[in-house]
């Protein structure tokens, strides 16, 4: 068996804590389950403490044996005052219990880690109590707090400035993977985990969010069409597979619709269109945008969902004229078009969420800047080895 020099300690609740929890559970206006949830302990644990208290095994308050009942009695002024104090105490104990769980994560760590924990929570709890819980001396903590920053700490501060500069330059859109890749391109040699730690400790969190997207009703799906990508496999060059989709964007109190077309190989957005209505004209505008770029279209497979804006005769005629083959999702398999879903996730997290737009024209301008100037030209894409789409196309040419 391996020998553990610093095994993790399991926190043990004090008798005072147990007795107070038991007394709270016997209050007529409190249920045992509520007390357990408030203190962050399992109801079975509280039930065991109550049994030990009744049998005299738990004597934190000096009692040997008690016979408590849940029957309602007229409370004396003294009892009412005690109940008010107990209700206040439950909040304090809950806060302490939450801290105890955090203490367990650093109790087996180095002295420096424990001193750092004390430094973070010294405004909430007494330093003496924190030192006692973590098994360190107060003099040791004060000596640690007064010493000069170590070389590692000074290095972290210098690195944090570089990280913050990259983070701000991306308007808060880059998380630790893209910040790490950007620093590597600038010649800064640092591990990804260190970048993630510094960003986490300093509240640098990328603008991401869960995307809410309304799906067309299954009854509107048509039986015609097939998913041609199942037999095609992966891409080895640009202009082999394009993918397209439409998403909803809430603008004030009105929905707007964004249609986009992407080259699946390079992840470049080839065409997009924004409108107040979700019609065939919307998707046709995005398709014509892509075709006008002069890219090779003969034999390209365009994969979409089964929405009527893609299966309409006008849209199908435009595809045939350009020599583009149409592929559609399997019924009930929205993940067949995961590449576009991934783009919309990034778009809404990095541009739309928590932003105010003064009408659709303002949104269209910002959309153009994001897609044409940032996403296609600058943004590092994890799916193409952290290159931008245009840069990746240039390398693949």
pLDDT averaged per 10 residues, the chain (length 397): 46 77 79 78 85 79 44 53 71 67 65 81 81 85 84 89 93 92 93 92 80 55 74 86 94 91 95 94 95 90 90 93 91 83 92 89 94 94 92 87
Residue 80 has a pLDDT of: 59
For residue 106, report the phi and psi dihedrals to the nearest 5 degrees. Answer: -120, -5
Please give the pLDDT value at position 191: 93
Q: For residue 396, what pLDDT is reported?
A: 81
> Can you give the pLDDT at residue 316?
93
The answer to whether 195 and 183 are in contact (CB under 8 A) is yes
Task: Give me the pLDDT at residue 152, please.
Answer: 86
What is the reported pLDDT for 66?
Answer: 43
pTM strictly above 0.75: no
pLDDT in the model for residue 174: 92
Q: Which residues contact 323 (CB under 8 A, 6 or more apart)?
A: 297, 298, 299, 300
Looking at residue 223, its pLDDT comes to: 62
Q: Work out the angle between the directed axes of helices 111-121 and 77-106 (0-180°, nearest 10).
A: 140
Check residue 317 and give its pLDDT.
94
DSSP state, residue 125: S
Residues ≥6 apart with Cβ < 8 Å to 202: 160, 164
Q: What pLDDT was estimated at residue 9?
A: 47
Q: What pLDDT is stored for residue 68 in this prediction?
A: 43
Residue with tokens 């002069």: 294
The tokens for 81 are 């005052």
pLDDT at residue number 70: 43
How many angstroms separate the CA atoms of 292 and 93, rounded?
67
């Amino acid at each position: 068996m391996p020998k553990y020099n610093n095994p993790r300690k399991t926190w043990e609740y004090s008798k005072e804590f147990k007795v107070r929890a038991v007394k709270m559970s016997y209050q007529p206006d409190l249920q045992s389950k509520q007390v357990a949830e408030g203190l962050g302990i399992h109801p079975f644990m509280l039930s065991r403490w109550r049994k030990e208290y009744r049998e005299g095994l738990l004597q934190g308050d000096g009692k040997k044996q008690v016979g408590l009942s849940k029957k309602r009695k007229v409370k004396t002024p003294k009892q009412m005052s005690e109940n008010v104090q107990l209700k206040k105490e439950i909040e304090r104990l809950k806060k302490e219990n939450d801290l105890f769980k955090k203490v367990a994560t650093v109790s087996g760590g180095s002295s420096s880690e424990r001193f750092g924990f004390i430094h973070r929570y010294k405004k909430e709890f007494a330093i003496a109590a924190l030192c006692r819980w973590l098994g360190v001396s107060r003099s040791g903590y004060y000596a640690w707090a007064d010493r000069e920053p170590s070389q590692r700490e000074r290095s972290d501060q210098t690195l944090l400035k570089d990280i913050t500069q990259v983070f701000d330059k991306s308007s808060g859109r880059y998380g630790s993977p893209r910040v790490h890749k950007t620093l590597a391109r600038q010649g800064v040699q640092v591990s990804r985990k260190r970048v993630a730690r510094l960003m986490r400790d300093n509240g640098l969190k990328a603008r991401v969010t869960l995307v809410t997207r309304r799906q067309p009703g299954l009854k509107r799906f048509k039986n015609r069409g097939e998913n041609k990508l199942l037999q095609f496999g992966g891409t080895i060059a640009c202009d082999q597979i394009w993918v397209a989709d439409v998403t909803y964007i809430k603008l004030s109190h009105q929905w707007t619709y964004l249609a986009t077309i992407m080259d699946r190989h390079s992840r470049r957005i080839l065409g997009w269109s924004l409108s107040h209505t979700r019609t065939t004209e919307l998707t046709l505008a995005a398709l014509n945008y892509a075709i006008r770029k002069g890219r090779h279209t003969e034999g390209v497979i365009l994969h979409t969902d089964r929405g009527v804006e893609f299966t309409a005769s006008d849209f199908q005629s435009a595809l045939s004229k350009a020599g583009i083959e149409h592929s559609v999702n399997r019924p009930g398999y929205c993940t067949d078009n995961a590449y576009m879903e991934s783009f919309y996730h990034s778009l809404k997290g990095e541009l739309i969420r928590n932003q105010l737009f003064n009408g659709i024209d303002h949104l269209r301008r910002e959309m153009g800047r994001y897609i044409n100037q940032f996403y296609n030209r600058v943004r590092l894409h994890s799916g193409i080895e952290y290159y931008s789409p245009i840069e990746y196309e240039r390398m693949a040419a």
